[in-house]
Structure 1
Amino acid sequence: MRNPLGSKVVDIKPSGIRKFFDIVQETEGAISLGVGEPDFDTPWHIRDEGIYSLEKGRTFYTSNSGLKELRVEISNYIKRTQGVEYDPIKEVFVTVGGSEAIDLAMRAMLDPGDEVLIPQPSYVSYEPCAILADATPVIIELKEENEFRLTAQEVLDKVTDKTKILVLPFPNNPTGAVMEKEDLEAIAKVVIEKDLYVISDEIYGELSYKGKHVSIVSLPGMKERTILINGFSKAYAMTGWRLGYACGPEIIMKQMIKIHQFAIMCAPTTSQYAAVEALKNGDEDVRMMREEYNHRRRYLLNKFKEIGLPCFEPYGAFYVFPCIKKFGMSSDEFCTRLLTEEKLAVVPGTAFGDCGEGYIRISYAYSLENLKTAMERFERFISKL
């Protein structure tokens, strides 16, 4: 029989995060600190709005772009947090999670041979999405000595006449790194000078522990060059609702919506009504969850200091990215042994790019009680090495 598979898809490696997630599901008594999913329930008033929408029979398709009311609230949210105005009709649309928006942006903007600059370690979807869009991913290795921030010089060093898009994955998964305004200003200068576009993934924007999150769209000349991507999964504990959004120039949004129209139709209606409530009345919920994450973050950093494990201080998202190079084994071997010997699952840094070798990602989107039990196992494991 003829091979039924396309080589482009076959050659893409499956997610390294899911590999360990699947193993831990089959390991009795295992604790997982591997999945980036809030342990909080979606706040009740948000769930209640979703339930009410069902009771009222609001179970039909919305427009391809999403509920107008939701797009207006998204526009209002960005204006009050970043001081940037988007036309809710022409420059905002609702997607099935932020991941769909990343895929759509790349497919709408890239031609074969175009290059996409992807800082790593970073979220697992960027590189495969670039490949699926027939573009060439170009990796920029982020460095711990720079607190895993992206520098303007690192961008310049990788730009060619084929470069079209720069991915800005901050606050960062897996490192927890953030970008300061002055970092973004230097990068914006390069982007404008080299005539590039930016995909700014700000899904963790509300989870910043070092002052207010700054988006590159707030800088002069960058709104028209940027696709801003965000969603409700992390800040509002709405992972299962599968809802995100993209904001950007109308000329790009039209093409992204076209693909969305044929592949998806529209995001879940119930989720959209719940998201309206989240944006209108969810600020206090976000503040409460952020404070709890920060408490857990400080606990882990203090614990690493006690046991002598080097870890730079992350100021965003809900991950720590400690270095395990001194143990003389690969990240994958370290994580496999930790799971086998202590029934504790964390994710090897290589799941987020080859330059993640020598690091592991630990999520603190888990209760403090679970973290304390997990760290007892972790400390016991490294004391044997």
Structure 2
Amino acid sequence: MKIDKIVTIDDLREAARRRLPRIAFDFIDGGVEAEHCLTRNREAFLEYRLLPRYFADVSKRSQKTTIFGKTYDSPFGICPTGLAGLWRTGADDMLAEAAAAANIPFAQSCASNSSVESVVARAPNNMWFQLYSTRDRELGRRLVGHVESVGIETLVLTADVPIAPKRERNMRNGFTRPLRFKMSTIIDGLSRPGWLAGYLQAGGGTPMMPNWQRYAKEGATPDEVADFFAGQTPASEQTWADLEHYRKLWPGNLVIKGLLHPEDAVRANNIGVDGIIVSNHGGRQLDMAPSPIEVLPLIRAAVGEKQVLMLDSGIRRGSDILIALCLGAQFCFIGRSTLYGIAAYGLPGAQKAISILRNEIDLNLAQMGRTSLAEIGPHCLMHRGSQFQIMAPEPASTRTGSAIHA
């Protein structure tokens, strides 16, 4: 499928499925256990309706969003996705380039196959960095210090991986460490020559994690570095003291990712985090967990209006992002969307994913009779659970300032 035929994120997903062997595609596409959570993440958005308003001058529209003092051109960024180098060599470098060109943030995974220096060089003003709590606090301190030294200002601490989950697609496909391919996987890989050529050219096997390589033993192989990383994470013994530790350690913006309970959000807020990403890890950790969009209003009510709330998991449409913003998020993150693009087409694929979502936000905003994101909120929504009553009255601020009432 030629990239100019791509219209939706689902088109990118299909293009990625055609290029990748099943073991690789399922790692991106799959979730935990029976994948109820994965399905729920999409279905939860469909419970909402965006209210159109007409006879409004929407000829000049903007989706610019300011967060942590920086203005981005769209209200979404690219969330951390580990081991992206398996799908295409240099994937994180490409994601960084795509983010920089679009002026949106890219949060590099600590399990990236690109060094933090390489990624920062491509997106010096758009880089965030994601970290798991490490069992060895001194190691965590050194890693955080290195991230700070290259100029990154926002650290994302992931909370929702206390233990490795049961991802059944990976188990059936034999996705293990080190990578040991079954005969069926080898045959499948041979039928995907575009992916196979790049994989073998990069050396095959497990790609290196350079951000952990510096702390492993000298001369460690990629598999040994991966084992070293696995020995430090997941940190099943992590507690709130770890979050307090990183809050004291990190001078910049500290974001906690993976909270779904309002009481946890309040506690994180009280510790002093600068932002919270409401997330269920894309449906990859706890199969019966709620969708982030389901708990977002509860968390917003619990932490108040001052705390920066963001959301990921399940976003495939620009309308999904607008629904999240109406419910109290200030920002959203996408993961699979840009990975599908990278896997299928490289850098142009990631740029295509961003363009699709950005265009859908713009079109939906116009249909809603709004010219900026400051004009949207619960007054723009209806919900199935309330028998499709409008969720809130139009506030005075938008009655006087929006194109609807001009």
Question: Same fold by TM (over 0.5)?
Answer: no
What's the TM-score bracket when you normalise by the shorter of the two chains?
Answer: 0.3 to 0.5
**What TM-score do the two structures reach when normalised by structure 1?**
0.34
**What TM-score do the two structures reach when normalised by structure 2?**
0.33
